[in-house]
Structure 1
């Protein structure tokens, strides 16, 4: 199968001709790392098998997009043609342009060691090992199967980074002296204390905060903490998990949000918005009130947004187009009111303060974000 022109086109699309990541993108066969994948369908997840249609396989693998490789507890490698699992994605091959941006943010020098958290398909490790060397790359993932399969696929193309099956938020089995760079392609919250322990003095970490699109870069300080800032870039990754799947959602609360009258019914001042896809708004809201789940639907011009939280709070906002919505809210907190407060502050100041904020990380992982008069603390 002639994959090389497809890889070269991908490299042209996502890098500048002078980029040092151009050659790895053009020479790593991404399709070998994603032989099977899932896409969403009305009946659940739909399985795609690359070997069944070579052209479809090449088109999917060398497009700048993420490919879901695990849905709920079922990896595409283990699925039968009739399987249609339900649930959230639990592993993927991240879109190549984002992989490259994360590695660029790390500012990896020629002799640096790299710890990658979130092995997944192994494609990120292939790019890093091809650009530098296998001996400079260590990769960890909580899923032993992902580590094993990635190891085989890397070895098939002559790359042998160190791969470890371990919880990337816990103690990390690294050699004395630690690692120069940590890049996480899973989202964390709070920042693990073990990362600061693993990072050598002056070392640099790149990660995203779970529940947000905030991309944080920070360098280790003399006191064992780290300091940096929230990049103006954006990134979204799956949350870290400690088991085979994410905890189940609260279907009863979601049903209540969809159908019940609220304890509080009002007219909202701002139009219904798809919060999850309004990345800056969602990030600021999640720092204000962590853990809110969102659902959004459009039926012709009718917009419906749902918000739920594990504390029993819920909200539903409905309106036609950009009309003022009718808002139903229940439970101990008024979630839509919290959203409207963030939107009000945004309109009053012209921006949200979180993007570009300074980041201060204490040795125990406590993280402070601050910009101007605004600040927030994320505790372990």
Structure 2
């Protein structure tokens, strides 16, 4: 049976070998920080279950430590309250609400952040504390402040950090407000996603400083953005290659609602194949066009339900090979999606590195190509 030290070394070597990790300081951090201290008991999805069920894996279970050092996300909380130690041996169903993100993504983001010795970093979303420990190992405890929304999650992370020998500054509160004491940070890294950039962040990061954050929405399409702060409350940047998703910050998550009732509306042929929304960037473009809508279904049968207005759009396949779209409510959601997909296609259907983002007093805008290109305003 391999030891924790051996498994850490193997994880770091694997990440370096596949090109995901190249900076020696972050390779050393991966070798040094014991992920098992932060993951503790965790949930794994039950293969083939629908809706997804989870089984708890505990330190006494065979393969627990090897599972900790797999390059995968470990769910540590369901429904904002249930940990893996709170359930029995059988499978449970719930919505993941906290996790230890796969190490390649966490380390890759820290590496991408471009920190130097002496930089002060504000982390939004302490989670298990593993990412926080990596930052503290690289920069020193005094240069890392981490904010966690959930008090129970924060308490466990604080204990794990102490056990691992790290003592960064920890804050319990709404991370979308940044550091409650303010600050002049060189970098900000978010381990949750947001519907728009919280302006306090852009007042607490120095001009010229860097922000790394995942922009998401109520259809749960995501894009990782790297922005440079250009002035107080202002920033610009681009989205990055790859496929990054994080749980949405709880204050930005969609409000609770009753079960969806499909109602009659106006019908017409769809101008696009609805299955385009199943692609990573196609779904992203649709979300930009209808930012307060939740997306369900797939393939030729897509459903958009606007949380703010109750507007609906749904597509159904036709016998002749086309699709019918039914729309109702004040927003013609599918009209907006078709227009957005058309703009994206005329731009050559770029992946997200072809998109940029600008935050200013005028609002927050995601655009294709160049800053004056076609784009969409984020919901504020």
Query: Aligning the two structures, in what range does the TM-score lie when normalised by the shorter sequence?
Result: 0.7 to 0.9
Structure 1 residue 239, shift from structure 2 partner: 1.3
Count of residues paired in the alignment: 365
Match of 1:75 in 2: 82
Distance 1:30 1:322, change over 3 A: farther
- Which of 301, 306, 326 aligns to 1:304? It is 301
Match of 1:34 in 2: 39
Report the 3-state secondary structure (helix = DSSP H, G, I; strand = E; otherwise coil) of the residue aligned with 1:169.
Answer: helix
Match of 2:345 in 1: 347
Match of 1:197 in 2: 203
Report if the CA contact (8 A) 2:133-2:166 is conserved: yes
Gaps of 5+ in 1: none
Report if the CA contact (8 A) 1:353-1:374 is conserved: no
Match of 1:366 in 2: 363
Report if the CA contact (8 A) 1:190-1:365 is conserved: no
Report the 3-state secondary structure (helix = DSSP H, G, I; strand = E; otherwise coil) of the residue aligned with 2:331.
Answer: coil
Tell me the TM-score normalised to structure 1 length: 0.84
After TM superposition, the structure 1 = structure 2 runs for residues 257-276 of structure 1, keeping only pairs within 5 Å, are 257=262, 262-273=264-275, 275=277
- Which of 101, 104, 107 aligns to 2:114? It is 107
Match of 2:188 in 1: 182
Match of 1:214 in 2: 223
RMSD: 3.0
Match of 2:290 in 1: 289
Structure 1 residue 350, shift from structure 2 partner: 1.7
Structure 1 residue 158, shift from structure 2 partner: 1.0
Alpha-carbon displacement from aligned partner over 1:282-334 (angstroms, at most 9, x marks no partner): 22222221022122357xxxx53322222222233344999433433333334
Structure 1 residue 86, shift from structure 2 partner: 4.8
Report the 3-state secondary structure (helix = DSSP H, G, I; strand = E; otherwise coil) of the residue aligned with 1:108.
Answer: coil
Structure 1 residue 117, shift from structure 2 partner: 0.2
Larger mean Cα displacement after TM superposition, 203-212 or 142-151:
203-212
After TM superposition, the structure 1 = structure 2 runs for residues 213-252 of structure 1, keeping only pairs within 5 Å, are 213-222=222-231, 225-242=234-251, 247-251=255-259
Distance 1:130 1:10 in 2: 17
Report the 3-state secondary structure (helix = DSSP H, G, I; strand = E; otherwise coil) of the residue aligned with 1:215.
Answer: strand
Report if the CA contact (8 A) 1:72-1:85 is conserved: no
Match of 1:375 in 2: 375
Distance 1:173 1:346, change over 3 A: closer
Report if the CA contact (8 A) 1:71-1:85 is conserved: no
Report if the CA contact (8 A) 2:233-2:359 is conserved: no
Distance 2:320 2:165 in 1: 55
Distance 1:61 1:353 in 2: 32
Alpha-carbon displacement from aligned partner over 1:69-92 (angstroms, at most 9, x marks no partner): 222122314522168665532211
- Which of 23, 31, 40 aligns to 1:19? It is 23
Match of 2:57 in 1: 49
Larger mean Cα displacement after TM superposition, 192-201 or 142-151:
192-201
Distance 1:50 1:44, change over 3 A: same
Distance 2:320 2:212 in 1: 38
Distance 2:134 2:95 in 1: 27
Report the 3-state secondary structure (helix = DSSP H, G, I; strand = E; otherwise coil) of the residue aligned with 2:275.
Answer: coil
Report the 3-state secondary structure (helix = DSSP H, G, I; strand = E; otherwise coil) of the residue aligned with 2:23.
Answer: coil
Distance 2:319 2:75 in 1: 32
Structure 1 residue 44, shift from structure 2 partner: 5.8
Report the 3-state secondary structure (helix = DSSP H, G, I; strand = E; otherwise coil) of the residue aligned with 2:301.
Answer: strand
Distance 1:148 1:341, change over 3 A: same
- Which of 334, 337, 351 aligns to 1:336? It is 334
Larger mean Cα displacement after TM superposition, 111-120 or 125-134:
125-134
Structure 1 residue 181, shift from structure 2 partner: 0.7
Report if the CA contact (8 A) 1:316-1:329 is conserved: yes
Distance 2:152 2:88 in 1: 20
Report if the CA contact (8 A) 2:37-2:163 is conserved: no
